[in-house]
Amino acid sequence: MMTLKEMCVLAGVKTPKGAERILCHPDGNPEFSPFEHQISGLSILAGHEWSERSALWDEPGVGKTIPMQALILLYHLSGVKSMMVMPPKLMGRWMADFKRDWTVPEDLGFTYFLIQDMTPKKRNDTYAEFTLNDNWPSLMLMSYERIRREGLYLKMQEYTAFLFDEADKLSNPNTKLWGSIWRLFYSSKGKYGVHLFTGSEIRNIPTDAYGLIKLIDPELFYDYSEFYNKFVDEAIIAKYKDESGKFVRRTIGYTYRNLDELGRLMNRKARKETLRNVQKFLPELRTIEIPVDLSTSHLKLYRNLVKARLLEVDGELLDAEHASQLRHYAGRILSCPQNFVDEDKKVNFERNNNVLITADEVVESINPYKHKVIIWAWYRDTINHLRERYSKFNPAVIYGGQSTADSEANRIMFEESSVEDCGMMIANWGAGGAGFNWQCARYMLFVENPTTPRDIQQSIARMERTGQKHPMICYFLRVMGTIADKSFSKMVDKTMKVTEINGRVFPVQDMEVELFGL
């Protein structure tokens, strides 16, 4: 079996005592030999003078977990405790994979602890026991919220290496989370390892890069103003009248410059590896947009909401006073118009909903009795309606805000059941768009579309990953003449900017058009 020492030699990394006894066997494979990009990833993380602050921007499915876990073991053998931070839903599976993929002799003293699903009292009692027995674990796994609240206290327990998975959560330096992480490393003296891992280093727009660059390369820019002046050409200003009739100026976007240089700076202490560069023979992915025209009554209902920002439903007033409220109401009304009309009109609106009629035609063409399909939506109303509509396929369902246990149960149901027993996953693309391996499916349908490149990439990566054996098709419903479609168009434009920075070509940049003949 491959040893950690052998990996270190290949990567040009200093090998601490004990590395020759740690074995790596992902998925239980005794013949494992790491890919070249996994070795170069370990070199980035541990093989340079600047490696104590470094990052892997590798796409989902590339295999960055192996160098990440190797780094933690190297820290342990060097007497350094590590904190591993990630979304709660990923923690249990990540640690299970760690134990499955590595054999660490017990006498090397490697221990770990997950801070998850604990009451404050139980958590405090556990900390007290660690302190009393002087046995704080080698590795602490926790959520972003937990490190925000308790990071400074835990750092006092001599944790000096910090690894962040799904690190795009740290892209915004104006959040409390980012501020707490910054203070954790830079408010006191000392040397700390800071390592970021995400395939979505540009979460939405180019300026998102600043927060991550500042954490791993803090001296590159003095502050955000210096970064902004270098890469933002000008702000796009819109003028409009507010409710009082006064003219208001609002920034609605930016134009950029020097994006190729931004890409180089992001990789000064990091690297980007793409799935298709690693997996040369990965099957083809086709993306198809399907234009949908609303029925006359549905379009009238939608326009009334957008124009008046008010709807009366069974005597109750829905008031979309703010832009965010309007956007959400306008999104929900496309898929579930029956929820926005009086009781006597619900059946008619549900029957003539061209969005779901088109979804039905796509699903019928796929046939979930023979081929597994993933259906993405955002709103709980829509997911519930789709669950009922496609109940004959016994769909697994993942909602936004669902408990980790329920998400895991539905994941297992979809991945491990036969296509006859469960041929469909209906999921919120925020909750189900990361951490799941669904290469058992080759079809994907977005009933409600993401508005950021990051969410598109993460969602598609659930099936476009190592182990996929069949050509894939991803459908996007585009409801013409609506706010949702304009948002989707803006998202496609954003992907072009991301491509200029890191070379990642998004599937939506080369979509085909298919008509279902409504």
The whole-number pLDDT of residue 405 equals 83
Mean pLDDT of the residues in the chain: 87
Domain ranges of the chain: 2-219, 281-295+353-513
**Burial zone of 342 (CB within 10 Å; 0-12 exposed, 13-18 middle, 19+ buried):** exposed
Please count the other Cβ atoms lying within 10 Å of the Cβ belonging to residue 214: 20
Query: Which structure tokens are listed for 62?
Result: 């590339």
Name the pairing type of β-strands 247-256 and 232-241: antiparallel
Residue 188 confidence class, pLDDT cut points 50, 70, 90: low
Model pLDDT for residues 122-164, shown as the tens digit of each residue: 999 999 999 999 999 999 999 999 999 988 888 888 898 999 9
Mean pLDDT of 202-220: 91
Model pLDDT for residues 383-429, shown as the tens digit of each residue: 999 999 999 999 999 998 888 888 889 989 999 999 999 999 999 98
Give CA–CA dist 382/397, Å, rounded: 12
CA neighbours within 13 Å on the CB side: how many for 381?
A: 12
The whole-number pLDDT of residue 89 equals 83
Give CA–CA dist 337/299, Å, rounded: 10
Give CA–CA dist 192/184, Å, rounded: 10
**The two domains 2-219 and 281-295+353-513 share their CATH topology (first three levels equal):** yes
Model pLDDT for residues 35-86, shown as the tens digit of each residue: 999 999 999 999 888 788 999 999 888 889 999 999 999 999 999 999 999 9
Report the CATH number of the 2-219 domain.
3.40.50.10810
Q: What is the DSSP string of 155-207?
A: HTTTEEEEEEETGGGG--TTSHHHHHHHHHHHSS-S--EEEEE-S-SSSSSGG
Give CA–CA dist 442/472, Å, rounded: 5
Model pLDDT for residues 442-485, shown as the tens digit of each residue: 999 999 998 888 888 888 888 988 888 899 999 999 999 888 88
Give CA–CA dist 259/209, Å, rounded: 11
Radius of gyration of the chain (CA): 25
Identify the CA nearest to 231 among candidates 203, 261, 272: 261
Identify the CA nearest to 238 among candidates 228, 251, 221: 251
Give CA–CA dist 455/143, Å, rounded: 20
Give CA–CA dist 197/178, Å, rounded: 15
Residue bearing the bigger pLDDT, 280 or 212? 212
**Burial zone of 457 (CB within 10 Å; 0-12 exposed, 13-18 middle, 19+ buried):** buried
Residue 242 confidence class, pLDDT cut points 50, 70, 90: low
Identify the CA nearest to 215 among candidates 454, 47, 54, 86: 54
Please count the other Cβ atoms lying within 10 Å of the Cβ belonging to residue 295: 18
The whole-number pLDDT of residue 72 equals 97
Model pLDDT for residues 340-377, shown as the tens digit of each residue: 888 888 889 889 999 999 999 999 999 999 999 999 99
Residue 271 confidence class, pLDDT cut points 50, 70, 90: very high
> Model's pTM, two decimal places?
0.81
Strands, sheet with 512-513, edge to edge from the N-terminal-most edge strand:
396-398, 424-428, 373-377, 443-446, 472-479, 285-292, 512-513
Identify the CA nearest to 475 among candidates 327, 387, 346, 375: 375
Main-chain dihedrals φ then ψ at residue 491, nearest 5 degrees: -65, -40
> Is 281-295+353-513 assigned to CATH 3.40.50.300?
yes
